[in-house]
Amino acid sequence: MALLARLEHIVKDFGAVRALDNVSLDINEGEVLGLMGDNGAGKSTLVKTIAGNFQPTSGSFLFQGRPMSFSGPADARREGIEVVYQDLAICDNLTAAANVFLGREMMRRLGPLRVLDHGGMNSRAAELFRELKSETRPADLVNRMSGGQRQAVAIARTRLSRSRIVLMDEPTAAISVRQVAEVLALIRRMKDQGLSVILISHRMPDVFEVCDRVVVMRRGRKVADKMISQSSPEEVTGLITGAIQSA
Ligand SMILES: Nc1ncnc2c1ncn2[C@@H]1O[C@H](COP(=O)(O)OP(=O)(O)OP(=O)(O)O)[C@@H](O)[C@H]1O
Ligand SMILES: [Mg+2]
């Protein structure tokens, strides 16, 4: 698997709190990486550092071999690094299609005017949902959608922008069993399309079902980085709690 990005000795301090303590991590193309750890272990901070929300206190981030320094999420997005949250970053009062195109609306000419190309956006969004094998319809309002359908919208956004890395922070924490299966299927499809996915989850079965590799964080440190096939839920649980120091 080709190396896409590399974190080297990342430290992130919030005042006296060291949220990330010398974390190095490789991100490979077409790989689903599970990121696990107890509350406060530093998972979200790690994801937000990759996504440009936080600047590391020290350490470097290489993307396609080049050192990167993002001053905000827009910089990261330009490089194809996107975050999918369960509900955030989606506007409830807009349709699915409008959300997919939020901030990058398609326009068309109408005489001397440029107007929103609703028809174009609806048909492109319909195409993206078809690709994702989601039953989401472009004209549906997001506030009437299930958690799984919302994620299809968020993921369709990432398809539109030719993403390379998709970061998912607890996407299956608050959705039904059927929707979890739908989200895991979406993750597999992203992987098949060559994207790198980083999945933060507290749900052991999800991680063992869909991830190629698992990274465990404890108190800001990376305590394990293993192929899923070389680990077990028991070992990961031990690593999360500290019963196992490292693996
Ligand atoms: N913006 C912030 N300002 C100050 N401290 C922060 C900030 N964000 C996170 N922290 C601290 O950094 C540490 C790591 O937090 P982080 O949110 O990364 O944990 P997490 O692994 O995502 O936990 P959870 O499973 O509860 O989501 C915690 O001690 C937290 O209090
Ligand atoms: Mg978190």
Residues 74-93 have pLDDT tens digits of 899 889 998 876 545 567 77
Report yes or no: 180 and 172 within 8 Å, Cβ to Cβ: yes
- For the ranges 32-41, 85-94, 185-194, the maximum mean pLDDT occurs at 32-41
* Between residues 225 and 131, the one the model is more confident about: 225
- Whether 220 shows a pLDDT value over 90: the answer reads yes
Report yes or no: 167 and 51 within 8 Å, Cβ to Cβ: yes
Determine the pLDDT at residue 100. Answer: 86
Mean of pLDDT values over 52-70: 95
Q: Which of 10, 20, 21, 43 to mutate to test the pocket of ligand 1 (most atoms within 8 A of CB)?
A: 43
Q: How far apart are CA 58 and CA 81, in angstroms?
A: 20
Burial bucket for residue 130 (CB in 10 Å: 0-12, 13-18, 19+): exposed
Distance 42 CA to ligand 1 centre (A): 6
- Whether 62 shows a pLDDT value over 80: the answer reads yes
Mean of pLDDT values over 120-146: 88
Q: How far apart are CA 178 and CA 146, in angstroms?
A: 11
- Whether 173 shows a pLDDT value over 80: the answer reads no
Q: pLDDT tier at 55 (50, 70, 90 boundaries)?
A: very high
Determine the pLDDT at residue 152. Answer: 82
CA angle, 35 then 38 then 40, to 5°: 100
H helices present in the chain, as ranges: 43-50, 73-78, 96-100, 118-131, 147-160, 177-192, 204-210, 233-241
Burial bucket for residue 89 (CB in 10 Å: 0-12, 13-18, 19+): middle
Distance 40 CA to ligand 2 centre (A): 7
- Whether 247 shows a pLDDT value over 70: the answer reads yes
Q: pLDDT tier at 15 (50, 70, 90 boundaries)?
A: very high
- Whether 232 shows a pLDDT value over 60: the answer reads yes
Determine the pLDDT at residue 59. Answer: 98
Domains (range + CATH), the chain? 3-93+147-241 (3.40.50.300)
H/E stretch holding 108: strand 107-110
Dump the DSSP string for 23-48.
EEEEEETT-EEEEEE-TTSSHHHHHH
Determine the pLDDT at residue 170. Answer: 83
Determine the pLDDT at residue 85. Answer: 65
Determine the pLDDT at residue 134. Answer: 82
Distance 42 CA to ligand 2 centre (A): 7
- The closest-lying atom of ligand 1 relative to the alpha carbon of residue 217 is 21
Query: What letter would DSSP give residue 170?
Result: S
- Whether 54 shows a pLDDT value over 90: the answer reads yes
User: Using a 6 Å CB cutoff, which residues line ligand 1?
Assistant: 14, 17, 19, 37, 39-45
